[in-house]
Amino acid sequence: MNLLNAIQERRSVRSFNKETVPNETIERLLELALYAPNHKMTQPWRFVVLNREDQVEFFHFIQANKARKKGEEEPERKPLAEDAPSHIIAIVMNVNENDKLHRDDFAATGSLVQNFSLLAWEEEIGVVWKTPGLIHEPEFHEFLGVNEGEEVIGLLWIGYPEVVPEIKPRETLKVQYGLPSKS
């Protein structure tokens, strides 16, 4: 598969089969994804990789957190859904107090995610980038081992697709050449 095809054919996959993506494959794809453009080479990222066993605790944490907020009892642990991802990767980024550098770092990390997604797709591995509200909560940071001065910018669900979604149409390209007229 060439880059053009990978860009046009990549889909956000939300339903996975039971085959496990090898840890070595995940590490190789992350290593390659590190070649994202990164102003000042701050390389602000690190990754927390959860396998299916970890995901039982992960999803229980989410359900227990929701129950706590509603004043309900903590639910029992449930087995993983049949179409659960092989792994969930939490993308952890250093928080830069300089707003401009923080935006640069966020853009670089987004580029890294795109690199990872395209590289994974090339190997028939599906990815979806999720940004649920709980990624900003201190309890979630503690659960994942996120340190002071770091933030979670998203969760990548990865695995071999059970279902590949249809292509969604893109909006028409909007480009302005030159400065706007001042009339």
14 is in an annotated binding site: no
Alpha helices (H) in 10-48, listed in sequence order? 23-33
Q: Which amino acid is at 154?
A: G
157 is in an annotated binding site: no
10 is in an annotated binding site: yes
Backbone angles phi, psi at 130, to 5 degrees: -115, 145
Q: Which amino acid is at 37?
A: P
Of the candidates 103, 83, 66, the one whose C-alpha atom is nearest the C-alpha of residue 19 is: 83
- H or E segment and range at residue 48: strand 45-50
Q: How far, in Å, are 49, 154, 168 from residue 147 at the CA level?
A: 16, 16, 38
15 is in an annotated binding site: no
Q: List beta partners, residue 129.
A: 156
Do 88 and 50 meet the contact criterion of CB atoms below 8 Å apart?
yes
12 is in an annotated binding site: yes
Strands 161-163, 150-159: pairing kind: unpaired
List residues forming the annotated binding site.
10-12, 39, 129-131
List residues forming the annotated binding site for FMN.
10-12, 39, 129-131
